[in-house]
């Protein structure tokens, strides 16, 4: 079998950056070895810049791709959500074409795996022919305790459609957000699959904590505008995350997405949890919606497992993990590149439970091989 041998200026293997190392891969992209340049023999291809494993986009909404440029930046979250709800229907062929384009552009941007939020099965056709690995997070939303069973059944129907193509381990039913899922609906989700990976939009705006602490803030107007009755809701005096965490089974791995308003004190409620918790950063979407970012250095210093997502084209200018990395480096230049790259590759693969194949250059894996150029400014898939 033919091998390819790559000698980049810098090689990131999923763990650390090294130099003078040659990456050896089979013709089909399976990793064979990493050896010092002195032992690599003939046929070595010199690559300018840095090579790393393919990126994992831990949070996306591929089905919203037709909403690119449809919502003005900086509206704040409640108004953004209101507009998504009211703009999302377009002719199916328009939606499908936007999905196909977005899937292709992610692959060209070096993304090999995606944690994708699904409210419908409109992405199924494109995913069947895509080289990208997808985990579907089928989202349940229900603001009314009495409607919990019906909302769960609706999510279950979408779940079943994805199971016609994907194995069970790549499909989960998950709650949308702490403020949009009643405890009744949440219990149905938890009991349905107490070991499945869960994703949730966590503490994306200040209003989420205000709602849980005092039943006040910007979500009040959102519920009113949506015509939703919230008489049943009692504030707890606590921030959102500590308030809802026990609605998940302790055996469910968690992917907490956004974390813009997560404090150091909030993290205490995760101590001793049986299953792992991953914190997903979506800086491009946070800047687009509210011009604010999570305290990423605090999250990183707290020893959490961080991952990176693009969110959707409704709330971002592109679906590119490299652009997300550039946002992080622009705002927090003190964070080591090595750490950020591990969030974008191996941690993301672990969060999606796809790290047996993806996320790092280790013998037998097939993680995708991408080059980021000398200034980390463009992605070129090499395999």
Answer whether 310's CB lies under 8 Å from 58's CB.
no
Q: Which two tokens stand for residue 249?
A: 């089974």
Shortest reach from residue 19's CB to Zn ion, in Å? 37
Answer whether 271's CB lies under 8 Å from 302's CB.
no
Neighbouring C-beta atoms of residue 84, cutoff 10 Å: 18
Residue number with CB closer to Zn ion (21 or 286): 286
Residue number with CB closer to Zn ion (14 or 309): 309
Q: Report CA-CA distances (Å) from 179 to 143, 160, 203, 215, 248.
A: 8, 26, 10, 11, 15
Residue number with CB closer to Zn ion (38 or 86): 86
Size of the site for Zn ion (CB under 5 A): 1
Shortest reach from residue 67's CB to Zn ion, in Å? 12
Q: Which two tokens stand for residue 188?
A: 């149905």
The residue at minimum Cβ distance from Zn ion is 311
For residue 35, how far is the Cα from the chain centroid? Answer: 33
Instruction: Identify residues 281-320 at the interface with Zn ion (CB under 5 A).
Output: 311
Which runs of consecutive H residues, i.e. helices, occur in the chain? 77-87, 92-108, 124-129, 148-163, 183-192, 206-214, 218-225, 240-244, 283-290, 296-301, 321-331, 337-342, 348-351
Shortest reach from residue 50's CB to Zn ion, in Å? 29
Task: For residues 137 and 340, give the distance between their C-alpha atoms in angstroms, rounded to a whole number.
Answer: 24
Residue number with CB closer to Zn ion (210 or 311): 311
DSSP 8-state secondary structure symbol assigned to residue 51: E
Shortest reach from residue 286's CB to Zn ion, in Å? 11
Residue number with CB closer to Zn ion (142 or 367): 142
Residue number with CB closer to Zn ion (103 or 311): 311
Instruction: Identify residues 212-231 at the interface with Zn ion (CB under 5 A).
Output: none
Shortest reach from residue 59's CB to Zn ion, in Å? 6
Taking residues 55 to 74 in sequence order and writing x for each that binds Zn ion by CB under 5 A, - otherwise, the string is: --------------------
Shortest reach from residue 285's CB to Zn ion, in Å? 7
- Interface residues with Zn ion (CB under 5 A) are 311
């Amino acid at each position: 079998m033919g091998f390819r041998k790559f000698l980049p200026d810098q090689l990131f293997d999923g763990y650390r950056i090294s130099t003078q190392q040659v990456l050896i891969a089979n013709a089909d992209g399976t990793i064979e070895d990493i050896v010092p340049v002195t032992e690599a023999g003939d046929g070595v291809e010199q690559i300018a810049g840095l090579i790393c494993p393919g990126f994992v986009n831990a949070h996306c909404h591929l089905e919203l791709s037709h909403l690119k440029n449809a919502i003005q930046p900086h509206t704040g979250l409640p108004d953004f959500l209101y507009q998504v709800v009211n703009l999302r229907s377009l002719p199916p062929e328009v939606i499908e074409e936007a999905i196909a384009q977005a899937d292709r552009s992610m692959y060209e941007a070096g993304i090999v795996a995606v944690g994708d939020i699904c409210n419908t099965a409109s992405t199924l056709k494109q995913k069947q022919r895509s080289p990208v690995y997808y985990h579907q997070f089928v989202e349940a939303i229900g603001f009314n305790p009495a409607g919990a069973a019906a909302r769960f059944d609706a999510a279950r129907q979408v779940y079943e459609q994805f199971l016609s193509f994907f194995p069970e381990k790549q499909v989960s039913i998950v709650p949308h957000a702490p403020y949009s899922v009643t405890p009744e609906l949440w219990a149905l989700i938890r009991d349905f699959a107490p070991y499945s990976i869960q994703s949730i939009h966590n503490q994306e705006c200040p209003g989420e904590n205000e709602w849980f602490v005092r039943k006040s803030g910007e979500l009040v107007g959102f519920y009113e505008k949506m015509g939703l009755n919230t008489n049943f809701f009692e504030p707890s005096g606590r921030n959102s995350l500590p308030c809802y965490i026990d609605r998940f089974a302790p055996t469910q791995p968690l992917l907490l997405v956004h974390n813009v308003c997560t404090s150091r004190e909030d993290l205490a409620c995760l101590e001793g949890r049986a299953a792992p918790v991953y914190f997903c950063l979506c800086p491009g979407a946070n800047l687009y919606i509210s011009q604010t970012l999570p305290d990423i250095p605090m999250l990183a210093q707290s020893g959490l497992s961080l991952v990176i997502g693009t969110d959707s084209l409704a709330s971002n200018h592109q679906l590119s993990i490299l652009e997300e990395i550039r946002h992080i480096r622009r705002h927090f230049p003190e964070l080591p590149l090595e750490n950020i790259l591990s969030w974008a590759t191996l941690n993301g693969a672990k969060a999606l439970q796809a790290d047996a194949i993806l996320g790092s250059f280790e013998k037998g894996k097939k993680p995708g091989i991408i080059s980021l150029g000398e200034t980390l400014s463009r992605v070129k898939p090499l395999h």
